[in-house]
Structure 1
C-alpha cells in the first residue's frame, strides 16, 4: 500500500514539474528532515507521558487519517470519493511511517488537496461569466460535514454551482449591482486561490500534527517554532516589534491598528490603512518585496531584537497602486499588549433612593510571564499582580460589589487561577488534580486573608474555559459569590508544555513544542468541570453556539467523573438568597426593553443556525430578508434605536466577507459594537447591586 502512495507522490511531482506553467498548478510540497524527527519524538512523548497513554497503532492511525482529511476539507467541497478511497488504502500505515521518519503519506494527500483546491476555484470563477436563474426552486446545503463526498466531477461541479449561486444571491439581495457582484466574487475566489500558492511544508506538517494530537484528545496540540513563540507572547503579554496590528487585504499587508506608545505610533509616519510593500533589516539592508506574502511571514521579518532597526517600504493609504512610496525606519522596542491585560471600570446602580457603585474587572486571559518569574524579575507581568492592583484601586473608590468578567476567557496559567481565587476566599484548597496514574493532589493557596470579602459575581459564557472554570467553580463551591451567564466550555484537563528541542538536546529551536494533557482537575466538591462546565446560579442568554463550541462538541472528550470532596469549609451562603436574586432579575428583565430585544435576537439567531438547507429562490429569500429588516426597523421607529447586539450583523447581512468591506467600515463597525450597551454586563452589575442590598451579603462584607 505504501508503495502505491509513494508512486502517487512521484507522479504528482513529475506532473507538477512538467505542467506547472501550463496548468498553473501550485508547487508540490515535501517534508523536511526535522519535521520527521519532530513527529517521531512527539509520538514517543505522547505514548508514554500523556494522561490517556494512547499507543500509536493501527487504530490511532485510522483516526489520524480521518481527522487529517476532515481538517483539510471539513465541508467536503474539494475531494472526490475516489480521492478518499485512495487515501484510505494507507489509513493503517501512518503509525509505521512516523516511527520510520516518513511523512510522505500526509504530504501526498495535501498535494492532491492543493490541486483540487485550484481546480474547484477555477470552475467557480468560470461560473461568473453567465450569471444565474433565481426563479428556479432549488436549494443549497449549508452544513456539509456529514454529507457524502461527490462521486464524480459532475457532482462536484453541481455542488460548486449552487455554492457560487448562493454567494451571488446574498450580494443581490443586499442591492449590489450585477457588475459589482461579478467583480466581488471573482476577486474573492482569486484571493482564495492565491492561498494555495503560499502554503509551505510547515503548514502541511502543522495540520498533520494537529490531526495526530487531537485524535488522542482535544486539548493536546503540537506547536511549531513560530506557534510556540506566539504562545509565549500571549502568556507574558509582551513582544519586541514596532507596535502595529497587521492584516492581509488584497495581497497587501495593511496596518489595522497602531499600539499607543509603540515605535510605529510614535514615529508619526504611519497611519491605519497604510500598506507595507517591503521590509529591510538595519539601516542599509536590502528591501524584501512582501506584496502577496502571508501576513505571518511579514510579521517574522518585522519582529526582531530590541533596539535594532527595521525599515518599511510603505504605500500610503490614500495613494493609488502606482502612488509614491516612502521608507519608514523604526527601532524595535518592547511592546506591551495592554488590550489583553486585566482592566477595570466602575458602574453605578440605582435602587430607589440608594446609589451603589459596582467595580468590574475584565480579565481576557490568565497570563503570566514565566521567564520573568523564573529570572526573579520584580516587575514580571501576571494576571494576579494586575488584578491585585485593580482591586486595591476599586476599594479606594469605595465600591459596594465586584464583578469578575471572564467571558471568552479561554484560560491560561493554572497557578494564576489558584492565586486569584485566594483574593476572594483566602487560604484553602481551590482544585484537585488527578494524574494519569490516578494519584490525586489538592492545590490551594496560602494567602492568610482575602483581598475582597464583599459582594461578588463571576460572569461567564460558553467561551470561558479551563482556568476560568477553575476560578468560577471554586467561588461557587465556597458559596463566595454568585455565578452569572451561560454554562461554561467544559474543559477540565491540565496541560503542560514539552520543549522537543530540549528533549532532543538541540541548541537551537527546530522541532517545536507539545502542549500535552497530563492531568484532569476536579472541583473541591468532588465534581469536575469536564464536559459539563460550570452551570451559573443565574442563567443569562448568549450568542455562542453550544453545539459547535464547548467540550461536548468534541467526539473524543474525556468523560465527566466524580471523586471525593476536598477538605474545605464554605465561606458564605449564596443559596438562601438565590431565589430573591432570581426573582429581582426576572422582574427587571421583563421590563427592560434592551434585555427583551437581546433574548429576541438570541432566539432568532438560533433559528438561523438550525437552517442546514437554504433556498436558492430569490422570492423566498427576499421574503425572509424583508422580515428581518422589518423587525429591526420596527425597533428604530419605536425609540430611534436599532439592534445593539452582534446578531445585528447577521440580520442586516450584506453578502460580503470581512476582508471585502473597506477597512474604515470594518473599524467603524467594531467600534460601534464595543460602544454598544452591554446588556449582559449591565444586568450582572444589577444582580451584584441586589446582593449588596441583602443583609447576609452585607454582613459578609463587614467581616
Structure 2
C-alpha cells in the first residue's frame, strides 16, 4: 500500500456533517425517495472488507452486535447531535436497528440507514414549521429568569413532541433576544428568523441519498477509530485538492445565500482575478459550458452542484450570467466568459513575516523571522508525475528560510498553531531542514513491525536559533515536527500542549477492487499505523508538551484526542539513536521568569489571557440567560471593554484592533450577513494584533541573549562538540 497511496497523518478531518452541507434546490430528494442504490450497497461491503482486515486496518474491529450498537449511536449523533429533532419515541422506533446494522453493512443493505434519515428529514420539517409558528406568538418577554441550555450533547432525548416544543421555544426566544440586543426591530427580527428557519428546512429537505449514505458510512468508520473516514467520489476530489493546494477552474470562492450562489472571494492570479469581471457579491444565475453549451439556470441549486458546473479542465471555457450586488434580481445578467486554468491556493500556503524585538537593558534589538504554516500539504499527483512545480510545504518553507538567511534574521519561529496535519513525508522532510541527518519518526504497523523514517540529506536549510509555536489545534504532522525538534534539542517548543493525535492514515481507493465497473466508489482514509518520536514516546493522547507554556485556551477535556471515547491510549517503544543538539532545561527557569515579567507589562497578552479565562467560565455554564437586562449588562460590559482597550492601544502606541468597533454580537449567522462586508471583516481579522506570536519571538530572542551572555551556560545547553548552530554567536 505504501507504494501506491500517500501516507497521511491528518488530525481533524471529521466525518461530513449533514447540516454543514450547503443548501440548494428543493425537490431534489429523488435519491431518498427511491431508496439506496446498488452501488452504495457494494461500497458498504467494500468498506467492511477493508476495516475488518488486519492487513489494512491498524486496529480492526469485528463487525458484530456490539459494534452495530456503536454505529447506531454515532449515526444518530451525526444527524442530531444536539438532540433537538428526534424524540425518545423515535429512538424506541429505531431500536430494532441497534443490533442489526452490522448485518445490513455486510449485506450491502442501506435500507435501515435511509429509514432513519427519512425520519430525520421529517422531524426537521416539523421543527422548522413549529419555530416559524412561534414567531407569530406573544412569547418574547425577557423579564424573567429563564435560561436557554444550548449544550445538549449529553442530555437525554426529549420524551415527546411537547418536550421538544419547550426546548425549541427557549431556543427561538434566544435567537430573538440576540437580534433585539443588536438593535433590530421586531418586524426585522421576525423576517430574519422566519427566513433562517425556512432555510434550515430547505437545506435538510434537499439532502439526498449520497448525503445519507456518506453520513451513515462515516458513523461506521468513526466507530473503528476517530480518524478513519469514508469519502464519496466528490468529497475525495475536494480532499485531494486541499492537500495539493491546487485545482482547475476560474479561481473564485462561492457561498450560498438564500437561493443564490454568490462570489465570496476572487483568488489572486486566477482567471477571474485576471479578467477583472467578477467581484465579491456577484450573483451567479446561469452557467454554460464552452462557447455554445446550453446556459443552465442555477438558481436554487446546491452549491456543490454549481461548483461542478463552473470548475473544469485547464484551457476549457465556461460562461456565466451574473447579476452585480448593486443591481436588482430582475436586472439583466452580465455574460462573462472565462478560460479555466490551474489555480494555486496561496492562502493556505506557508507565509513569512519578520518581528523586531526592541533593544533593552543593553541587549541589542533582534529580528525574528516567522513562518506560518497552515498545513503539511503536498501535491501527490504532481510529485508522482515528476512535475517540478508541485506544491510542497517543505519546498515553500525552504524558500522562505533562504530569504531569512539573506536578511540575516537572528532566529526563526515556526508557527504551527491550528495546523491540523497533512503529509507524513512533508513532516519528515520539513524536520530535515533543521537537522543534519537522522531519524524523525518511528512507524509501528498493525503486526508490530516498526520502521524508521528520517532525513538522509546532509546539511540544513537553517542552522540558527529556532522555536516552534503550538496550540491545542496543532495536530499529527505538526506533532511529529515539534516532537522531533524537541527530542533533538534543536529548538524551543512554545505555547500549548498539542492535540495528541499519534496515528497514521492512508488513502485507499475503493475502485481498485471491483472489476469491469464504470462506477466510482470513493476512498477510505484508513488508520494503518501509529507513530512514535525518535525518543520512543508516542504523541497519542498526551501530545507534545511545550518547554515554555502559555495559558491554556482550550481544556483537554473539551478538545483533542483525549476527548474521543475510542482513541488509542498513549504508549512508548524503544528509542532510536539520534543526536541531542542541545538541552534547554538549564535556561527554562530564566526564560519563564523573563516571559512572566514581560507579559505582566504586555497589555495585549494580558487582554488575551483575560478573554481566555472569561470564555472558559462562560463555556462551562453551558447556558445563556434569557433575561434582557442581564444580557444588556453583559453586552454593554463587552462593548465598554473594547472601547477602553482601543483607547489604551492608542495611548500606548499599539496597533489598533481593526475589529474592535465590530465586536458586538449582531445575532446573525453566516449567510445572513452581507457577503462583501463579511469578507472584508475576515481580511481585517488577519491583521489583528497577535500577542502570542510576538511573545514567542521575544522568548526566542531571550534564549539567544542568555547564551551569548553566559558562556558556561552555553556549554551546558549546547555542548560545543555537538553545536550545529550559531545560537550563541
TM-score by length of 2: 0.90
Equivalents in 2 of 1:501, 1:189: separation in Å?
Answer: 40
Structure 1 residues 439 and 649: CA distance shift in structure 2, 3 A: farther
Equivalents in 1 of 2:554, 2:491: separation in Å?
Answer: 24
Which residue of structure 2 aligns with residue 251 of structure 1? 259
Q: Does 1:672 align with 2:684?
A: yes
SS in 2 for 1:38: helix
Which residue of structure 1 aligns with residue 69 of structure 2? 62
SS in 2 for 1:144: coil
Q: Does 1:262 align with 2:270?
A: yes
Q: Which protein, 1 or 2, shows the higher relative CO under an 8 Å CA cutoff with sep ≥ 6?
A: 2
| Pick aligned residue for 1:660 from 660, 672, 676 | 672
Structure 1 residues 76 and 41: CA distance shift in structure 2, 3 A: same
Structure 1 residues 33 and 305: CA distance shift in structure 2, 3 A: same
Deviation at 1:145, TM superposition (A): 1.1
Say if 2:437 and 2:457, in contact at 8 Å, map to a contact too: yes
Structure 1 residues 554 and 643: CA distance shift in structure 2, 3 A: farther
Equivalents in 2 of 1:345, 1:617: separation in Å?
Answer: 46
Q: Which 4+ runs in 1 deviate beyond 6 A?
A: 24-27, 641-651
| Pick aligned residue for 2:443 from 433, 445, 450 | 433
Deviation at 1:366, TM superposition (A): 0.8
| Pick aligned residue for 1:75 from 79, 82, 99 | 82
**What are the equivalent positions in structure 2 for 1:224-303 lying under 5 Å apart?**
224-303=232-311
* CA offset digits 1:468-514 (Å, max 9, x no partner): 10000000111110001111111000001110001224665610001
Deviation at 1:379, TM superposition (A): 2.6
Which residue of structure 2 aligns with residue 127 of structure 1? 134
Q: Does 1:412 align with 2:417?
A: no
**What are the equivalent positions in structure 2 for 1:131-530 lying under 5 Å apart?**
131=138, 132-352=140-360, 354-505=364-515, 508=518, 510-530=520-540
Equivalents in 1 of 2:519, 2:431: separation in Å?
Answer: 36
Which residue of structure 2 aligns with residue 3 of structure 1? none
Say if 1:65 and 1:88, in contact at 8 Å, map to a contact too: no
Equivalents in 1 of 2:388, 2:669: separation in Å?
Answer: 46
| Pick aligned residue for 1:37 from 38, 42, 46 | 42
Query: Which has the higher mean CA deviation after the structures are superposed, 367-376 or 239-248?
Result: 367-376
Query: Which has the higher mean CA deviation after the structures are superposed, 507-516 or 627-636?
Result: 627-636
Equivalents in 2 of 1:625, 1:290: separation in Å?
Answer: 41
Deviation at 1:349, TM superposition (A): 1.5
CA RMSD of aligned residues (A): 2.2
Equivalents in 2 of 1:292, 1:545: separation in Å?
Answer: 41
Equivalents in 1 of 2:43, 2:335: separation in Å?
Answer: 40
Deviation at 1:619, TM superposition (A): 2.3
Deviation at 1:667, TM superposition (A): 2.0
SS in 1 for 2:337: strand
Structure 1 residues 520 and 528: CA distance shift in structure 2, 3 A: same
Say if 1:29 and 1:200, in contact at 8 Å, map to a contact too: no
Which residue of structure 2 aligns with residue 6 of structure 1? none
* CA offset digits 1:173-197 (Å, max 9, x no partner): 2221111111111111111111123
Deviation at 1:90, TM superposition (A): 1.2
Say if 2:659 and 2:685, in contact at 8 Å, map to a contact too: no
Deviation at 1:137, TM superposition (A): 2.5
| Pick aligned residue for 2:596 from 586, 601, 608 | 586
Structure 1 residues 375 and 96: CA distance shift in structure 2, 3 A: same
Structure 1 residues 479 and 567: CA distance shift in structure 2, 3 A: same
Say if 2:252 and 2:263, in contact at 8 Å, map to a contact too: yes
* CA offset digits 1:660-686 (Å, max 9, x no partner): 221232123212211111111111111
Which residue of structure 1 aligns with residue 701 of structure 2? 689
Say if 2:149 and 2:622, in contact at 8 Å, map to a contact too: yes
Query: Which has the higher mean CA deviation after the structures are superposed, 646-655 or 101-110?
Result: 646-655
TM-score by length of 1: 0.93
| Pick aligned residue for 1:570 from 565, 569, 580 | 580
Equivalents in 2 of 1:146, 1:187: separation in Å?
Answer: 29
Which consecutive unaligned segments of at least 5 residues does structure 2 have? 1-25, 709-713
Structure 1 residues 370 and 637: CA distance shift in structure 2, 3 A: closer
Deviation at 1:599, TM superposition (A): 0.7
Deviation at 1:573, TM superposition (A): 2.0
Which residue of structure 2 aligns with residue 7 of structure 1? none
SS in 2 for 1:525: coil
Deviation at 1:27, TM superposition (A): 6.3
Deviation at 1:66, TM superposition (A): 0.4
Equivalents in 2 of 1:647, 1:478: separation in Å?
Answer: 41
Say if 1:312 and 1:329, in contact at 8 Å, map to a contact too: yes
Equivalents in 2 of 1:27, 1:67: separation in Å?
Answer: 20
Deviation at 1:268, TM superposition (A): 1.8
Equivalents in 1 of 2:240, 2:548: separation in Å?
Answer: 36
Structure 1 residues 509 and 388: CA distance shift in structure 2, 3 A: farther
Equivalents in 1 of 2:171, 2:34: separation in Å?
Answer: 29
Structure 1 residues 28 and 645: CA distance shift in structure 2, 3 A: farther
Structure 1 residues 27 and 43: CA distance shift in structure 2, 3 A: closer
Equivalents in 1 of 2:595, 2:282: separation in Å?
Answer: 48
SS in 2 for 1:565: coil
Which residue of structure 2 aligns with residue 8 of structure 1? none
Say if 1:25 and 1:115, in contact at 8 Å, map to a contact too: no
Say if 2:68 and 2:98, in contact at 8 Å, map to a contact too: yes
